[in-house]
Chain A
Amino acid sequence: MGYFDNFLHGLSLVLTWQNLGFALTGCLLGTLVGVLPGVGALATVSMLLSMVIFLDPLPSLVMLSAIYYGAQYGGSTTAILCNLPGEATSIITCLDGHAMARDGRAGAALATAALSSLFAGIIATVLLAVFAPLLASFALSFNSPEYFSLLFFGLVATVAFSQGTALKAFAMVCLGALFGCVGSDIETGALRFTFGFGALSDGLSIVAVAMGIFGLGEIVSSLTNRNPQDTRSFPIGRLWISLDDLRKAAPAAARGTAVGSVMGVLPGGGMLLSTFMSYMLEQKVAKDPSRFGKGAIEGVAAPEAANNAAVQTSFIPALTLGIPPTAGLALLLGAMIMQGVQPGPLIMTTSPDLFWGLVASMIVGNIMLVVINLPMVGIWVQLLRVPYRMLYPAIVVFCCIGAYAVSNNFADLAVLGSFTAIGVLFAVLGFQPVPLLLGFLLGPLVEEHLRRALVISGGDATVFFERPISLAILILAAIVVISAMLPAIRSRRAAFSED
């Protein structure tokens, strides 16, 4: 069967009332949390994780992934109209998007952001459909040494690309992996760090840990660092792009898509970095770089295309290798595993319906998002008026019920509360929470493959360098580390984080 037949098959699976309904719900929720600055996509996905286990795999994945890419659309709306980045990935959009809004061209900026995202989303989804099967068949020959090297690459890149000091991020990854050790050992069944609590023998609940760090942890930091925000919105104006704007924006969107597609596949949070990189690229290729920051339409089109492309292509390594490039995808894979679908190279043969259904749903979802976002933009901005004091108790309650619902266990609630405190305390000490969560989710996999690889080689660690694919991955990891340490990139990133 060709790609097109597969895609049509996937489309036929998605175009049922039920799955369309879940896609729409996901898109609406994604836009909503993208618009609201205090609530992130990670927190939302972790809250819903506990509920989707009652659904079938396809609808739940369709919904969760729609939240994930929908948040990118919503985040740009508030970035442009109110200079508030709803998500971290729309920080760059604030620069020129908000400048355009101040000039009375908010409508053009919004339309550019949405259409660039749509363009990038569709192109990147096509890339996903083409490259995922190729990578999967390539990865069939992978064994534990290759998987260990890939995981190592992923974690190294997470450390290299994370905000703040690399040493601290490294400590967080190891600490997360340490928390991942709690429960019974996969090979011998020996209980580790359960301290006599039977409820911990299955390990710390992923849902509870993620909701603690991101759901409740975000509330604590919002309540601590809140300054009265100016949520005054600029008038939207006409939602239309002139031919002149289109001529400038279209190539920028194409370049942004290219940057984002490549960065998304790279492990370790390529999404945020792709927006920075595409913006720098636009400044480089522009005839008059001084326009940037003062309402250059390319400065909206390129990063918006980049972040959406990166979201879609990050599904390639996640689905075919089982190695999530970002914390959000790690949670998505967690949802799949909870439902008995094992991500990895066999996913194409064991659950083709799920893969092609998901691919088709991304095309449908991206189109839905443009429809949701453009004509209804005024409604979303109104939502910023919902006071936070009414919003956060609702999130607290949702997290509590979500953690409890998985197995009706007090221990999960205790984990939720404890990890809220752990996440906040480490954040206060200057440690980032995302590497902690990735270490927690990937740690058990790292251990499993490390142990298996060393059993095969008889304890000889050179096995990772002797196998060609494994060696190639490790060299790639070294390149990433070195390039992240280059002073030019470091100082550029420092400059951006000050803005």
Chain B
Amino acid sequence: MKATDAERRDLAGAALLVVVGACAIWFGRGLRYGTSADMGPGYFPAMLGAIVCAVGILLGLATLLRRRANEEEISARLNWRPLVVIAGSPFLFGFLIGPLGLFFSIVIVVLVARLAEKRRFTWEAPATALVLAALCCLLFIVVLELPLSVWP
């Protein structure tokens, strides 16, 4: 029998949980565990890591044994384009804010963020970027007096 999308999705989720839980245990191995009467810094994370691993295994088994009817469960579709662009924007902003200052950083981040959608370039995009940059500088520098420099 062929695996359905929901099953493949749950198996991937289960595998991810096992990996993350195992990572937590592995990277926390240098911390002192202590005893339950006197827990060290490593006790709680190791416990959580083990639980996350166990839930992952349980979820995987439940899926393989077809014990769960979760075909109708709601989940989002994956679209790499907006994910990469939007999740990358903060990194871009972080690289730009030091050398370029607030105004140009905002202009560039807005223009790049527009790439999350497939649409033709129009003059609306740079116009939005400029207006937004001006408004943000006014709000954050003049009104809220954040310690950021506006220009390079």
Q: Which residues of A contact B (CB under 8 A)?
A: 51, 54, 163-165, 167-168, 170-171, 174-175, 177-178, 181, 185, 187-188, 190, 192-193, 195, 212, 216, 219-221, 223-225, 389-390, 392-394, 396-401, 403-405, 408, 410, 413-414, 416-418, 420-421, 424-431, 443, 447, 450-451, 454-455, 457-461, 494, 497-498
Contacts and interface: CB of A to CB of B under 8 A. Distances in A.
The number of chain B residues touching the other chain, given as a range, is: 35 or more
B47 to A, nearest CB: 9
B66 interface: no
Given A393-B129, A451-B39, 10 more contacts: A181-B44, A190-B32, A193-B28, A219-B116, A389-B114, A426-B13, A430-B9, A430-B70, A455-B38, A459-B36
21 contacts: A165-B70, A170-B55, A175-B17, A178-B24, A178-B49, A185-B31, A192-B41, A193-B28, A219-B86, A220-B87, A224-B76, A393-B113, A393-B132, A396-B86, A396-B109, A403-B90, A413-B94, A414-B91, A414-B94, A417-B90, A451-B44
Contacts of A450: 39, 44
Interface string B102-145: 10001001100110110100001000110010001000100011
B3 interface: no
A173 to B, nearest CB: 9
Contacts of B43: 451
Nearest to B43: A451
Given A171-B52, A428-B78, A164 B132 contact: no
A400 B89 contact: yes
Contacts of B89: 216, 396, 400, 417
Contact of B35 (A174, A430, A457, A459): A459
A404 B37 contact: no
A224 B75 contact: no
B76 to A, nearest CB: 5
A252 B140 CA distance: 45
A167 B146 contact: no
B82 interface: yes
Contact of A181 (B40, B45, B136): B45
Contacts of B73: 164-165, 430
B52 A223 contact: no
Contacts of B114: 389, 393
Given A54-B144, A224-B76, A396-B86, A181 B52 contact: no
Contacts of A216: 86-87, 89-90
B9 to A, nearest CB: 6
Given A216-B87, A413-B93, A224 B82 contact: yes
B37 A454 contact: yes
Given A167-B62, A429-B9, A459-B36, A178 B86 contact: no
Given A165-B68, A193-B28, A417-B89, A178 B45 contact: yes
B140 to A, nearest CB: 6
Contacts of A425: 78, 83
Contact of B86 (A168, A187, A220, A398): A220
A400 B113 CA distance: 12
Contacts of A212: 90
B151 interface: no
The residue among B58, B83, B88 with the most chain A CB atoms within 10 A of its own CB is B83
A199 to B, nearest CB: 12
A389 B85 CA distance: 14
A13 B100 CA distance: 43
B90 A424 contact: no
B22 to A, nearest CB: 12
B45 A421 contact: no
B79 A223 contact: yes
A420 B79 contact: no
A297 to B, nearest CB: 30
B93 A404 contact: yes
A459 B74 CA distance: 42
A406 B60 CA distance: 40
A60 to B, nearest CB: 12
A462 to B, nearest CB: 12
B55 A174 contact: yes
A203 to B, nearest CB: 13
B36 A461 contact: yes
A319 B10 CA distance: 38
Nearest to A190: B41
B78 A51 contact: no
Contacts of A494: 72
A405 B140 contact: yes
Contact of B59 (A167, A185, A447): A167
Contacts of B75: 427-430
Nearest to B84: A421
B64 interface: no
Contact of A400 (B13, B24, B83, B93): B93
Contacts of A171: 17, 52, 55-56, 59
Contact of B109 (A165, A397, A428, A457): A397
A421 B82 CA distance: 10
Contacts of B88: 417
Contacts of B145: 54
A425 B15 CA distance: 13
B48 A178 contact: yes
Nearest to B24: A178
A399 B88 CA distance: 13
Contacts of A193: 24, 27-28, 45
Contact of B79 (A181, A224, A455, A461): A224
A450 B39 CA distance: 9
Contacts of A396: 86, 89, 109-110, 113
Contact of A413 (B44, B91, B140, B146): B91
